[in-house]
Structure 1
């Protein structure tokens, strides 16, 4: 039941953290972004909940919510924001990476490394990666990650400093 701190006012977690009122209060959270279909939004005084009703399936259209969620996180001046999905591994990290690209000016690769530095077990599904790649291309006109067929399935690939391939699970 932990929340990973991404920035001084942005946290990422699974659904259990959002249901812990003491945790929400101690982190100064005034906005909860709930990226699930089934988990309820808690009703805490002074805390707004924004629902992003998307399943954790590669065909789900999470990218349709990138701009709206990023803007809402950016405009939350009242306190901190908690972004969560069921496990804090796929939907919510993808939303946080989109926010970091849009409002912190980082590439997708940098956003992934930033989030993974705080929450090492993130693993957005392949469809969300494709949508993040489209968003990065829209924002910056280029991609810093590409999708590659691997023995583990289709994964995001980047080049390591020596020029060889590195996959998102191994960064």
Structure 2
């Protein structure tokens, strides 16, 4: 996206805003960074009406022209971002159903805002974490939720579908979420409705497993990465 000046939060080779969803008779969903608010031209070109801000670096309220909610959450492994999954889902879904375009952003459009978009895709389109992440990386290749957020998304997958089937390997995340040998995603019956994105395969259809087992697994995985210190990056 050329022509925009003062892109403070956009690294070389990246974009300040990425189109995630565009469906007939619904609004468009965008994922981006703080440059979208610093350069209002970006919002105007993409006809953004609604803004979901999840950011602590700068609090920018865009005024009455936009419908905006602000979530004060830090990008670290201990932040409970899952506490706002439902609120963000309702905000996004209401806007899209009203044919309004929505921007979800954090500082760099990489971790916090990506996590909320992933949670939205999981609930709205019945994706697993793996499916949602594969799809989102097609739209914005540099998304990279931190390990704590990924664990919360895996727990969300358990809550939605009763078990974890996602395999989060190095092609999807630089963080070794599966270093715990006892963490083994389980196959299950694929009860999801037809996915709108044919290039994102679903898991093999076999039996479901008990949620308690996976809650225990998540606890062990969380403990195993408790000393994991990811390299510094913007979210």
Return the TM-score normalized by structure 2.
0.61
Following superposition, the deviation at residue 40 of structure 1 comes to 2.0
3-state SS of paired residue (2:141): coil
Q: State yes or no: 1:98 paired with 2:119.
A: yes
Aligned to 2:132: 111
**Any idea what the Cα deviations from partners look like across 1:39-62, whole Å, max 9, x if unmatched?**
223324431111111000000010
Question: Which of the pair is proportionally richer in strand?
Answer: 1
3-state SS of paired residue (1:154): coil
Contiguous gaps of at least 5 residues in structure 2: 1-6, 8-15, 23-27, 186-200, 202-235
1:11-160 paired onto structure 2 within 5 Å: 11-76=30-95, 77-145=98-166, 154-155=176-177
Aligned to 1:4: 18
Choose 1 or 2 for highest CA Rg: 2
3-state SS of paired residue (1:75): helix
Following superposition, the deviation at residue 141 of structure 1 comes to 1.0
**Any idea what the Cα deviations from partners look like across 1:90-146, whole Å, max 9, x if unmatched?**
101100000001112211111001110011111100000011011111111121226
Aligned residues: 157
Return the TM-score normalized by structure 1.
0.83
- If asked which structure has higher relative contact order (CA below 8 Å, sep 6+), I would say 1
Q: Is the 8 A contact 1:15 1:84 kept in 2?
A: yes
Counterpart-to-counterpart distance in 1, 2:121 and 2:42: 23
Counterpart-to-counterpart distance in 1, 2:82 and 2:60: 21
Contiguous gaps of at least 5 residues in structure 1: 162-171
Counterpart-to-counterpart distance in 1, 2:35 and 2:146: 21
Question: Which of the pair is proportionally richer in helix?
Answer: 1
**RMSD between superposed Cα atoms in Å:** 2.3
